[in-house]
Amino acid sequence: GENVEQHPSTLSVQEGDSAVIKCTYSDSASNYFPWYKQELGKRPQLIIDIRSNVGEKKDQRIAVTLNKTAKHFSLHITETQPEDSAVYFCAAKWGANNLFFGTGTRLTVIP
Amino acid sequence: KAGVTQTPRYLIKTRGQQVTLSCSPISGHRSVSWYQQTPGQGLQFLFEYFSETQRNKGNFPGRFSGRQFSNSRSEMNVSTLELGDSALYLCASTRGAGEETQYFGPGTRLLVL
Number of helices (H), then strands (E), belonging to chain B: the values are 0, 11
> Quick one: DSSP state of residue B18?
-
DSSP for A11-41 reads EEEETTS-EEEEEEES-TT--EEEEEEE-TT
pLDDT of residue B42: 84
Decide if B105 contacts B88 (C-beta within 8 A).
no
CB neighbour class for A27 (10 Å; exposed up to 12, middle 13-18, buried from 19): middle
d(CA B5, CA A80): 31
pLDDT per residue over B1-10, tens digit each?
689 999 999 9
Average of per-residue pLDDT across A6-17 = 97
Look at strands B87-94 and A45-51 and give their pairing.
unpaired
User: Cβ A96–B56 below 8 Å, yes or no?
Assistant: yes
Give the count of Cβ contacts less than 8 A between chain A and B.
Answer: 46
pLDDT per residue over A65-93, tens digit each?
999 999 999 999 999 999 999 999 999 99
User: Cβ B105–A32 below 8 Å, yes or no?
Assistant: no
pLDDT of residue A98: 86
Q: Is the pLDDT of residue A109 over 80?
A: yes
B100 vs A contacts (CB less than 8 Å)? 32, 34, 49, 93
- Closest chain A residue to B5, measured at CA: A43
Closest by Cβ to B45, choosing from A32, A43, A98:
A98
Decide if A47 contacts A35 (C-beta within 8 A).
yes
pLDDT per residue over B15-55, tens digit each?
999 999 999 999 999 999 999 999 877 899 999 999 999 99
Give me the phi and psi of B96, to 5 degrees please.
Answer: 100, -30
Strand-pairing partners, residue B53, are: B50
**Which of B93, B96, B107 is CA-nearest to residue B37?**
B107
Interface membership of B90 toward A (CB under 8 Å)? yes
Decide if A64 contacts A51 (C-beta within 8 A).
no
**Which of A35, A45, A87 is CA-nearest to residue A66?**
A35
User: Cβ B105–A99 below 8 Å, yes or no?
Assistant: no
Q: Is the pLDDT of residue B109 over 70?
A: yes
B10 vs A contacts (CB less than 8 Å)? none
User: Cβ A96–B104 below 8 Å, yes or no?
Assistant: no
The residue type found at B52 is E
pLDDT per residue over A35-66, tens digit each?
999 999 999 999 999 998 779 999 999 999 99
pLDDT of residue B98: 63
List the A56-59 sheet strands across, edge first.
A4-7, A19-25, A72-77, A62-67, A56-59
Residues 5-24 of B with CB under 8 A from A: none
d(CA B34, CA A55): 30
Number of helices (H), then strands (E), belonging to chain A: the values are 0, 11
pLDDT per residue over B55-106, tens digit each?
999 999 999 999 999 999 999 999 999 999 999 999 999 987 666 889 999 9
- Closest chain A residue to B89, measured at CA: A43
